[in-house]
Amino acid sequence: MTTQNLPAAGVTELRERAALILPELAEGAAERERVRELPHAQIRRVAQAGLFTFRIPVEYGGAGSSVQDVFRFVIDLAAADSNIAQAVRPDFGRVEALLAGPEAERRKWFPRFLAGDVFGNAGWETGGPNGTIQSRITRHGDHFKVNGTKFYSTGALYADWIGTAALDDDGEKVFFTLPRDREGLHLVDDYDGIGQRLTASGTTRLDDVVVHPDEISTRDGGERRSPVTAFLQLYLAAVEAGIARNALTDAVAFVRELARPIAHSSAARSVDDPYVQHAVGDISARAYAAEAAVLRAAAAIDRAWHEDLRPESLTAASVEVAQAQFFAVEAALKSAESLFDVAGGSATGRAHNLDRHWRNARTVANHNPRYWKAAVVGAFRLNGTEPPTNGLF
């Protein structure tokens, strides 16, 4: 863990830092994924540049940015390397949760972000209904012990701190954050999804892990709508928008550098083939629209904050986010498919790894079914039915 805070930076300076780092992340991203080289150094670089601190208020030493500012960066990050973008989702989500939480939690954890620490998530479990927690936390004198197994531990292998949850003796959900080197906390690199393979979203085992009282977080256990869930859902859409843009980048590069016109083409060069031009233009339009949809939904979350999180503002934001998610998924999947229309069989070569865009988009899309997003929006438009107040809306 780092211990030295970076100098305070505003939004402009963070953007300048990002402009220097993003090309470094993009370089070699396809090859890292092809050979499964986990981006430990790259994620540490993002953290130590303070790029998780966009939303930390100025009075705490952060940039005090808007939600839109964050998502501009997230889209850029996903366009450089969608694995990294997804792996650091817990960091941005944690900051947003702190903004909506108690003051004591902000004073405790904001300094860790400003010091360049990385946060991972180990909240989900398998083997039961979605959202079910079977891990248990029990009191042992002046501390607690937790036992259980988690999966989809996004970003945990890269993290200094692991956030997770368990049920106490009363069956109540308890949230806590542990240092990654705590005895009995085991991070297993066993994630085997078809895409987003470098998010390291594998298993976390908790074997008699000690939890101290000051490591337990205070959370509202109610079912009220939260800006944090809208933020986390829009984050998935931002990753999809970045994937679409990355597919565009690869399509343009492949046509310019490697593609040959088909035998009966009217063009001597692929860049002049009207069907290739159409394919690239189609990808470009989808990537453009996906990004615009994400940023418009981000503005809705900003409005909810500016309106003191009124229920109707949060509902409006939730609906906008669901719409953006639906479209961003469609845009990324179609862009990743259309990429192969710009060239012949050579585009399928494993060395190019162009299939990663579809695999990554498909994997992100499977977090939450997009057809449910559309159905919820339709119910709201037709009947005024508000979206559910669970973590998916």
> Could you read off the pLDDT of 21-74 as tens digits, one per residue?
999 999 999 999 999 999 999 999 999 999 999 999 999 999 999 999 999 999
Tell me which DSSP letter residue 119 carries. Answer: E
Delineate the domains of the chain, giving CATH numbers in brackets: 11-117 (1.10.540.10), 136-217 (2.40.110.10), 227-383 (1.20.140.10)
The confidence score (pLDDT) of residue 2 equals 47
Distance CA 131, CA 126 (A): 9
- Angle value at C-alpha 339, between 335 and 343, nearest 5 degrees: 160
The confidence score (pLDDT) of residue 33 equals 96
The confidence score (pLDDT) of residue 5 equals 57
The confidence score (pLDDT) of residue 199 equals 96
Give per-residue pLDDT as tens, 297-306.
Answer: 999 999 999 9
Give per-residue pLDDT as tens, 306-354.
Answer: 999 999 999 999 999 999 999 999 999 999 999 999 988 889 999 999 9
The pLDDT mean for the chain works out to 94
Task: Please give the residue that has the higher pLDDT: either 286 or 261.
Answer: 286
> Across the chain, how many H-helices and E-strands are there?
12, 8
Position 132 confidence tier, pLDDT thresholds 50, 70, 90:
confident
* Structure tokens that stand for 384 in this block: 């005024």
In this prediction the pTM is 0.96
